[in-house]
Amino acid sequence: MQDKYYELTIKLDNSFVEVIADYILNLSDEGVELGDGQIIVRSESDLTFVKDALVSLAGNLEKPVEMTYTLEEKENVDWIKTYQDSVQPIEAGKFYIFPSWYEAKEDFINIKIDPALAFGSGHHATTFSCLEAISTYVKPEDKVIDVGCGSGILGLACKKLGARIDLCDTDPLSVESCKENFALNEESYDKLWEGSIDKAEGKYDVVIANIIADVLRFIAKDLKSAVKENGYLILSGILDKKEERVKEAFADLTLEKRTEKDEWVTLVYKKETRG
């Protein structure tokens, strides 16, 4: 272990924390800690390149995201242990999500996720609400696809309920993280690919897409066509201010349930049988 390490703290609007953290994890596989309105990245390597990449990103977005940065060199105490101590397990629906340095919990379906290694540990409102929806709408032997699978946590939840699961993500890092987390939980999937729903074959009892609102609207046709008649579509990653635009794109389905948590909306639709 080196004597020094680098710590980059990014302050930003809380609604952008998850999206920017996802971008950072595409740049670096170092420890990333999410907080209320902030992201902390720690590494034994200089993190100036991460800061520079974020400055460039902020300047090229159509709607700028204001971020402030503090990059410090610190004495290398065991920051990995400090980070691990900051990550708490959570209960969401039928599930108990915990990092590998905790023990499983009785009376829950246990899912092991190491958030230092993969993005999506159940703490964000969108993931939490999806886990609650999965607890209700996914049944044993259902055929399910998780579109934009990230860490694989939602697919793992479906598999633990006895479903058959396909997964996809346009980010190769997410595909690898998904593989690792299924192995960590000693579970298997039917198919996993780099790409989106347009590469799926056949139709599904449940389609899950925890992606930002604009992407949900862009792939709405493919998402809807992938759902069997009387099947369900679970949509999340929707900021409340963009909810109505997403609803417009899925107005031909029946809205079964709406959940809002921390300004994020999750919508569950049913594809009714056509007469």
* Within-domain flag for 89: no
Residue 35 and residue 142 share a domain: no
Q: Are residues 131 and 249 in the same domain?
A: yes
CA angle 142, 147, 217 (to 5 degrees): 120
Residue 101, domain member (yes or no): no
Q: Which two tokens stand for residue 138?
A: 């996914």
Task: Tell me the residue type at 274.
Answer: R
**pLDDT attached to residue 79:** 60
The answer to whether residue 91 is domain-embedded is no
Mean pLDDT of 182-203: 95
Residues 54, 156: one domain?
A: no
* Average pLDDT over all residues of the chain: 88
For residue 264, pLDDT beyond 60: yes
Same domain membership, residue 129 and residue 69? no
* pLDDT at residue 116, rounded to an integer: 46
Task: State pTM to two decimals.
Answer: 0.71
153 & 64 share domain: no
Same-domain status, 51 and 170: no
Within this chain, do residues 34 and 147 fall inside the same structural domain, yes or no?
no
One domain, residues 249 and 192: yes
- Predicted confidence band at 80 (pLDDT cuts at 50, 70, 90)? low
For residues 71 and 195, state if they share a domain.
no
Angle at alpha carbon of residue 86, lines to 134 and 101, rounded to 5°:
70
* pLDDT number for residue 123: 62
Question: Residues with Cβ < 8 Å from 61, sequence gap 6 or more?
Answer: none
Considering the domain boundaries, does residue 46 fall inside one?
yes
Domain boundary among 84, 99, 131: 84
The side-by-side arrangement of strands in the sheet containing 4-12 is 31-35, 38-43, 4-12, 67-75
Q: What's 62's domain CATH number?
A: 3.30.70.920
**Is the confidence at residue 50, as pLDDT, over 60?**
yes
Q: At residue 260, what is the residue type?
A: E
Residue 56: give the domain boundaries.
4-84
The number of C-alpha atoms within 13 Å of 186 and in the hemisphere containing its C-beta is: 1
In this prediction, residues 196-204 reach a mean pLDDT of 94
| Rounded distance between C-alpha atoms, residue 229 and residue 65, angstroms | 40
Is 194 contained in some domain? Answer: yes
Q: What is the pLDDT of residue 77?
A: 63
Count of domains in the chain? 2
Q: What is the pLDDT of residue 100?
A: 83
Residue 251, CB-side half-sphere exposure with 13 Å CA sphere: 5
The answer to whether residue 246 is domain-embedded is: yes
pLDDT of residue 122: 54
Per-residue model confidence as pLDDT tens digits over 131-183: 999 999 999 999 999 999 988 999 999 999 999 999 999 888 889 889 999 99
Q: Is the pLDDT at 114 greater than 50, yes or no?
A: yes
